[in-house]
């Protein structure tokens, strides 16, 4: 009979002892160890967190061989895919290979294809071979295995869309679910990183929530992206400014909102030093939601204090109730978004 591990996976922590797997420097990725409250999957693909992949790609100067070597090196050293610079991971899709006896009552069977909805930064992972690297969509196809703990959440891949399409959407599932939850009718919402996966999904959900009296404004750096975004119908307006230049963002954002500050901003950027561009345009008592893993708590907290902004700042928790179904339903409801994801991320 297999041993029972800790619900949160601390039995896999190697160093330092006493922490959870996300905070651990090294965890045990030995897949021959079978615990009664774990699920082990044969991994098909990793979707590396955007901030993490961007950092790895820049460090390797875009060379695919070096990118693969760096990812293999991180996993070999740490037992998980956790970028030591950004601290972030990503998620995987795979086929269930083992279900511990304590989890047999779940609606899951060996052979089911699932997407992990917990970060690779806490997931025991073993890579035997990298098959392909898709730099344009931050995806890595591998032969390997990963562990889901008893507390780990996942989604069975739907029958009505391809695996790459579901993976692309589920990778950012927390964001559109929050974009549905946070605004109210008539609100103004500013979305930084408006052209990315999470950005367009957030725009769609925010537009539905604020209604015809609201205003959803996207921020992009490249003016060539504006026409296509407006054609999608997920923003009332799209402005052009670099999220690393907060005053430029502020001026353009206020102009797009009749000179008024915003009720909510959502940061979906994948580069550093964009905190103040999300904070500055928001009114006192408004909400700033940082979905970006490139966010610095120190810069956000001290920056808001420094300009005297009394705003509620929310860390981008990748989990929100029903977030997987909410996100997949966006692609079911909006043919233009589904077509975009199929063409750009699959």
**What digits encode the pLDDT tens for the residues 242-268?**
999 999 999 999 999 999 999 999 999
Contacts of 259 (CB under 8 A, 6+ apart): none
Nearest to 1, CA basis, from 33, 39, 36, 31: 36
Backbone angles phi and psi of 338, in degrees to 5 = -60, -40
pLDDT band of 51, cuts 50, 70, 90 = confident
Mean pLDDT to the nearest integer, 124-152: 97
- The CA-based diameter of the chain, rounded to the nearest angstrom, is 67
- Locate 40 and state its tokens: 């082990």
Mean pLDDT to the nearest integer, 1-5: 89
- Locate 301 and state its tokens: 């907290």
pLDDT band of 89, cuts 50, 70, 90 = very high
Pairing of strands 312-315, 282-290: parallel
Q: What is the pLDDT of residue 322?
A: 87
Domains and CATH numbers, the chain: 10-157 (no CATH), 174-345 (3.90.180.10)
Contacts of 168 (CB under 8 A, 6+ apart): 47, 137, 197, 341, 345, 346
Q: What is the DSSP string of 150-195?
A: TT--EEEPPTTS-HHHHHHHHTTTHHHHHHHHS--TT-EEEEESTT
How many residues comprise the chain?
346
Q: Is the peptide bond before 16 cis (omega within 30 degrees of 0)?
A: yes
Read off the pLDDT of residues 206-229 as tens digits, 9 standing for 90 and up: 999 999 999 999 999 999 999 999
Q: What is the pLDDT of residue 167?
A: 84
Mean pLDDT to the nearest integer, 140-145: 98
> How far apart, in Å, are the Cα atoms of 77 and each of 82, 125, 184, 251?
10, 11, 46, 46
Q: Is 145 helix (H, G, I), strand (E, B) or coil?
A: strand
Gap between the Cα atoms of 147 and 12, Å rounded: 10
User: Which residues sit opposite 146 in a β-bridge?
Assistant: 41, 125
Gap between the Cα atoms of 86 and 55, Å rounded: 8
Tokens 């692609």 correspond to 331
Q: Is 282 helix (H, G, I), strand (E, B) or coil?
A: strand
Nearest to 188, CA basis, from 239, 288, 262, 256: 262
Mean pLDDT score of the chain: 95
**Whether the Cβ atoms of residue 71 and residue 129 lie closer than 8 Å to each other:** no
Choose the weakest-confidence range: 14-23, 93-102, 310-319. 310-319
Gap between the Cα atoms of 202 and 191, Å rounded: 8
Angle between helices 323-333 and 163-170 (to 10 degrees): 120
Q: What is the pLDDT of residue 163?
A: 87
pLDDT at 95 over 90: yes
The continuous run of DSSP H or E covering 82 comes out as: none
pLDDT at 1 over 80: no
Q: What is the pLDDT of residue 292?
A: 86
């Amino acid at each position: 009979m297999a041993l029972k591990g800790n619900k949160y996976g601390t039995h896999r922590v190697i160093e330092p002892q006493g922490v959870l797997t996300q905070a651990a420097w090294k965890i045990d990725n030995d897949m021959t160890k079978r615990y009664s409250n774990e699920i082990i999957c044969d991994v098909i693909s990793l979707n590396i967190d955007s901030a993490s992949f961007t950092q790895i790609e820049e460090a390797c100067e875009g060379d695919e061989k070096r990118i693969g070597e760096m990812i293999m090196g991180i996993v070999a050293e740490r037992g998980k895919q956790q970028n030591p610079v950004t601290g972030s991971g990503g998620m995987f899709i795979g086929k269930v290979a083992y279900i511990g006896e304590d989890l047999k009552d779940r609606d899951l069977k060996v052979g089911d294809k699932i997407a992990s909805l917990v970060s690779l930064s806490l997931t025991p992972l073993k890579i035997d071979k990298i098959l392909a690297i898709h730099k344009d969509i931050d995806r890595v196809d591998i032969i390997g295995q990963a562990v889901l703990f008893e507390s780990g959440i996942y989604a069975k891949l739907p029958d009505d869309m391809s695996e790459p399409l579901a993976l692309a959407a589920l990778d950012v599932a927390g964001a559109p679910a929050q974009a549905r939850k946070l605004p109210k009718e008539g609100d103004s919402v500013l979305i930084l990183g408006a052209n990315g996966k999470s950005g367009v999904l957030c725009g769609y959900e925010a537009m539905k929530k604020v209604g015809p009296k609201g205003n959803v404004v996207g921020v992009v750096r490249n003016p060539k992206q504006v026409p296509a975004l407006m054609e999608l119908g997920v923003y009332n307006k799209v402005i052009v400014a670099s999220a690393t230049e907060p005053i430029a963002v502020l001026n353009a954002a206020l102009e797009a909102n009749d000179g008024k500050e915003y009720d909510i901003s959502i940061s979906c950027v994948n580069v550093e030093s964009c905190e103040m561009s999300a904070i500055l345009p928001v009114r006192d008592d408004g909400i700033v939601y940082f979905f970006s893993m490139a966010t610095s708590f120190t810069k956000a907290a001290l920056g808001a204090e420094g300009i005297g902004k009394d705003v509620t700042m929310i860390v981008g928790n990748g989990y929100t109730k029903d977030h997987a179904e909410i996100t997949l339903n966006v692609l079911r409801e909006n043919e233009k978004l589904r077509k975009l994801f199929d063409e750009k991320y699959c």
